[in-house]
Amino acid sequence: MSDHGHGHDHPHVPIANGAEPPAAARVRALEELLVERGVISREEVRRRIDWLVSRTPADGARLVARAWVDPEFKERLLADPRTAALELGLDPGPSPVVVAVENTETVHHLVVCTLCSCYPRALLGPPPDWYKSLPYRSRAVSDPRGVLREFGVELEGDVELRVLDSTADMRYLVIPRRPAGSGGMAEEELAALVTRDAMIGVRQVALK
Amino acid sequence: MRYRVGQRVRVAARRHEGHHRTPDYLKDRSGTIERAHGAFTNPETRAYGADGLPLQPLYLVGFAQREIWPDYGGASDDRISVDVFEHWLEDAE
């Protein structure tokens, strides 16, 4: 503990180049203890991390592309994304529940987690750094049209913008609008157009 | 579940020391139940090593942006929808 005269009391550990940051050191110490006490095993931790980093937005994109070409699948995806994901052989992950919402000509959804960085990791992989940043988390709720403009999306005034703040157990996946001119494209080609950012709701899907 | 989709509710104005998942910008604001998600463990006790039981019903509650941010610059229909646990909700007049 240190008392260094700015109203609080915590050690200021300098982050040197190449040194382990304080949070990582704490997590590592905690992991050591949990392993030592037999609460978790190193193998479990490794498996869980491998699973998390093996997830990519390609899974979410497959769901979106199928929804675009198959209206009945889209209904099932909107009703129960977990079952829809299993139907395509995708792994919807452990506990948190995914909710799918659809962007249309009249409604645009944008997802944020103001309290931390809740995100549908099972279907989109790890969230981008900006999603976890304070400026995005605060401005996505108070000035969402301004945020969208910075991502290159100019919404018409008559489009209802609906921000989703995922503060609890639900994770939100946006089904973006299918781009005009994609009528003749096959499902796989469509899936290749669908970006992570479009499934967060900060960009539209464009033809490449 | 105490509330139904379409019902008006208000988020309790109370302060809460410690971990909770109700953002301050919603406190004392009124909205409409958009979805009833079912019941989940209570993060306010689970965060401190308890089991989070009894389960707490969770709702998606929609608010008019202009009621949340007085100087909101977007369209009048713009909404913000937030997951709120039932013990943070009160009947709205």
Q: Encode pLDDT of A92-138 as tens digits.
A: 887 668 999 999 999 999 999 999 999 999 999 999 999 999 999 99
- Would you say the pTM of this structure is higher than 0.95? no
Is the ipTM of this structure higher than 0.85?
Answer: yes
Amino acid, single-letter form, for residue A6: H
Sorting pLDDT into bands at 50, 70 and 90, what band is A3? very low
pLDDT digits 0-9 by tens, A33-78: 999 999 999 999 999 889 888 999 999 999 999 999 999 999 999 9
pLDDT: which is higher, A3 or A10 = A10
CA distance A73 to A53: 27
CA distance B49 to A104: 43
Strand partners, B85: B58
- Helix locations, B1-90, DSSP H: 43-46, 65-68
**Residue B20: CA atoms inside 13 Å, Cβ hemisphere, count?**
17
**Interface residues from chain B to A (CB-CB < 8 Å):** 21-23, 25, 35, 37-38, 40, 43, 58, 60, 62, 65, 68-69, 72-75, 77-85
Q: Which pair of structure tokens corresponds to residue A126?
A: 């790890």
Question: Quick check: bond before A127 cis, omega within 30?
Answer: no
**Active site residue ranges of A:** 113, 116-118
Q: Give the model's pLDDT for residue A8.
A: 59
Name every chain A residue with its beta carbon within 8 A of the beta carbon of B35: 99
Packed helices A57-69 and A71-79: angle between N→C axes, nearest 10 degrees: 130
Specify the 3-state DSSP secondary structure of B34. Answer: strand
Question: Do residues A63 and A123 make contact, with C-beta atoms less than 8 angstroms apart?
Answer: yes
Q: Give the model's pLDDT for residue A142.
A: 95
CA distance A147 to B69: 16
pLDDT digits 0-9 by tens, B33-54: 999 999 999 999 988 889 999 9
- Nearest-CA neighbor of A125 among A62, A172, A58? A58
Mutation target among A137, A161, A172, A174 for the B interface, most CBs of B within 10 A: A161
